[in-house]
């Protein structure tokens, strides 16, 4: 240990004759912890409709303010305001509300299923439904989605069969991913929905690669990726932004700022110094900061970015400013690290309620129909859950055959995996002589 550098004490002692100022380390701390009274008055919430809407081909250097403002359409009067109003017809708005309600009903039931021991893990998107459902509705159905792990709303919006989602969550014999992935790590090529990794932000540069390929081939489809504000800290996100701007890739980066990364608040991803939308500016990427709990604003921003990408005008970073109303997953208890008042005090409200109230305000909806829709969604999820349970739940033996463990490592089974597969089957026969399906 002779070469060890001087310890802290030595340095402090040496400071006596040193007239340089003492340094101190800043460690971010969220404003509120459990038990604290929550006051979100520091969050600037501009009037709905106050933001101008630039042309989709605008040079990013002329759009700086959009990375620091907040695009909002739905006002406190529940009416749509300003140039970002996408002017969707009532039927489309009801469809959007329906997908959001279905997503919420699905989350409720799956969360409960995990608590009942039917699976190992689940993640809700409560409060963030607009960032997936509304945004996805602004894309073409064959635009390619590179999701993070909280975009179940996109699959529901795209009509992916719910039973496939539940089979995957239960890792049962009906799971087309063969029980290989942690619950909610879906994949559906048919629905242009990329396989969810579980490693964070890795999908963002992959989306750029897909978008580059689409441009290389003279295709018309664009790519859109979702990432949490916490995960923008990963190098992958920065590689993604760089490649996107260098090759002017037709890609949309949707950064869902839900304020929390498990127990770490957004300050640990840099939120104390800049907005997440502002990250795009340094790369020369058009950047929009959007009220993520305003379904119409989410739709409008995504539509703007999609138009831009399709016009070969380049990528867009969208920050959806939102709030994670529930825990990160079934594995954490948010009451242990943040104030329970935050959810109620959140100044941007709840996306489902805001869209519902908007439809009521324009005379296209009412509480009775809302209740009926919620009930119908809950019943549909319940019925589909029962159907999925017929294929088994996690740990109850109804999984894919043993040999499938060795498939798809490579296109063809090499000798060493063949030998290991034979070993696994031998072990199974020893453990369950004449028993379970091999």
Partner 1 sequence: MSTATKTTETAATGSERRLNMIEAINEALDISMAKDPDVVVMGEDVGYFGGVFRCTAGLQEKYGKTRVFDTPISECGIIAVAVGMGAYGLRPVPEIQFADYIYPGLDQLISEAARLRYRSAGEYIAPMTVRSPFGGGIFGGQTHSQSPEAIFAHVAGLKTVIPATPYDAKGLLISAIEDNDPVIFFEPKRIYNGPFSGYYDKPVQPWKKFDASIVPEGHYKIPLGKARLATEGEELTIIAYGTMVHVVEAVCAEKGVEADIIDLRTIVPLDIETIEASVKKTGRCLIVHEATRTAGFGAELSALVTERCFYHLEAPVERVTGFDTPYPHSLEWAYFPGPVRIGEALDKILSE
Near partner 1 by CB under 8 A, which window of 203-211, 271-279, 324-332, 339-347? 203-211
205: contact with partner 1 by CB under 8 A? yes
- Which DSSP string do the residues of 181-204 spell out, in sequence order? S-TT---BGGGTBPPP-SSTTTHH
17: contact with partner 1 by CB under 8 A? no
Alpha-carbon Rg for the chain in angstroms: 24
Nearer to partner 1, 146 or 299 (CB): 146
Using the rule CB under 8 A, which residue among 132, 136, 152, 188 binds partner 1?
188
Nearer to partner 1, 255 or 352 (CB): 255
Total of chain residues touching partner 1, rule CB under 8 A: 45
Tell me the C-alpha to C-alpha distance, in Å, between residue 349 and each of 17, 136, 158, 345, 353.
56, 21, 26, 8, 8
Using the rule CB under 8 A, which residue among 137, 207, 261, 301 binds partner 1?
207
Near partner 1 by CB under 8 A, which window of 81-89, 197-205, 332-340, 362-370? 197-205
Structure tokens at 264: 């770490």
Near partner 1 by CB under 8 A, which window of 101-109, 232-240, 362-370, 374-382? 232-240
Angstrom distance (rounded) from CA 243 to CA 310: 17
125: contact with partner 1 by CB under 8 A? no
CB of 102 to partner 1, least distance (A): 24
CB of 421 to partner 1, least distance (A): 13
- Residues 394 to 423: which contact partner 1 by CB under 8 A? 408-411, 414-416
Using the rule CB under 8 A, which residue among 181, 232, 339, 385 binds partner 1?
181
Q: Which residue has the tokens 């072990």?
A: 427
CB of 101 to partner 1, least distance (A): 29
**Cα dihedral angle (4, 10, 15, 16), rounded to 10 degrees?**
-150
**Cα dihedral angle (155, 158, 159, 163), rounded to 10 degrees?**
-10
Structure tokens at 270: 């840099």
Per-residue contact string for residues 140-159; x = within reach of partner 1 by CB under 8 A: ----x-x-------------
Ordered alpha helix ranges (H), 161-310:
162-170, 203-216, 235-246, 278-282, 295-310
Tell me the C-alpha to C-alpha distance, in Å, between residue 288 and each of 144, 218, 292, 397.
21, 27, 11, 48
226: contact with partner 1 by CB under 8 A? no
Nearer to partner 1, 239 or 341 (CB): 239
Angstrom distance (rounded) from CA 168 to CA 181: 8
248: contact with partner 1 by CB under 8 A? no
* Nearest CA among 279, 286, 277, 267 for reference residue 235: 279
Residues forming the site for partner 1 (CB under 8 A): 144, 146, 176-178, 180-181, 185, 187-189, 194-195, 197, 199, 202, 204-217, 223, 235-236, 239-240, 242-243, 246, 408-411, 414-416
């Amino acid at each position: 240990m002779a070469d060890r550098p001087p310890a802290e004490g030595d340095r402090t002692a040496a400071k006596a004759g040193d007239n340089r100022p003492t340094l101190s380390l800043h460690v971010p701390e969220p404003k509120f912890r459990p038990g604290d009274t929550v006051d979100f008055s520091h969050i600037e919430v501009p009037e709905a409709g106050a933001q101008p809407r630039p042309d989709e081909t605008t040079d990013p250097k002329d759009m700086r303010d959009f990375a620091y403002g907040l695009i909002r359409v739905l006002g406190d009067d529940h009416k749509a305001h300003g140039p970002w109003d996408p002017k969707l017809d009532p039927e489309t708005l009801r469809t959007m509300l329906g997908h959001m309600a279905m997503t919420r009903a699905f989350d409720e039931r799956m969360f409960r299923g995990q608590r009942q021991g039917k699976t190992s893990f689940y993640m809700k998107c409560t409060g963030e439904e607009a960032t997936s459902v509304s945004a996805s509705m602004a894309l073409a159905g064959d635009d390619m989605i590179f999701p993070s792990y909280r975009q179940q709303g996109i699959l529901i919006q795209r009509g992916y069969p719910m039973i496939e989602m539940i089979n995957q969550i239960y890792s049962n014999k009906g799971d087309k991913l063969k029980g290989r992935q942690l619950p909610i790590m879906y994949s559906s090529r048919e629905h242009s929905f990329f396989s969810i990794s579980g490693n964070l932000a890795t999908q963002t540069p992959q989306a750029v690669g897909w978008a580059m390929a689409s441009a290389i081939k003279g295709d018309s489809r664009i790519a859109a990726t979702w990432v949490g504000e916490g995960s923008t800290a990963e190098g992958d996100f920065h590689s993604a932004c760089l490649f996107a701007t260098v090759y002017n890739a037709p890609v949309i980066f949707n950064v869902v700022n839900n304020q929390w990364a498990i127990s770490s608040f957004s300050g640990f991803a840099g939120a104390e110094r800049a907005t997440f939308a502002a990250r795009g500016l340094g790369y020369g990427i058009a950047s929009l900061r959007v009220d993520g709990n305003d379904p119409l604003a989410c739709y409008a921003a995504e539509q703007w970015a999609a138009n831009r990408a399709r016009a070969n005008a380049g990528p867009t970073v969208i920050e959806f400013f939102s709030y994670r109303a529930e825990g990160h997953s079934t594995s954490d208890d948010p009451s242990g690290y943040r104030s329970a008042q935050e959810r109620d005090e959140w100044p941007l409200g709840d996306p489902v309620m805001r869209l519902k109230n908007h439809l009521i305000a324009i005379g296209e909806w009412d509480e009775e129909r809302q209740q009926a829709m919620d009930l119908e969604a809950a019943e549909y999820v319940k019925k589909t859950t029962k159907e999925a349970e017929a294929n088994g739940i996690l740990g109850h033996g109804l999984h894919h055959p043993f040999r499938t463990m060795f498939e798809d490592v490579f296109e063809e089974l090499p000798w060493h995996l063949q030998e290991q597969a034979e070993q696994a089957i031998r072990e199974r026969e020893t453990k369950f002589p004449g028993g379970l399906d091999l």
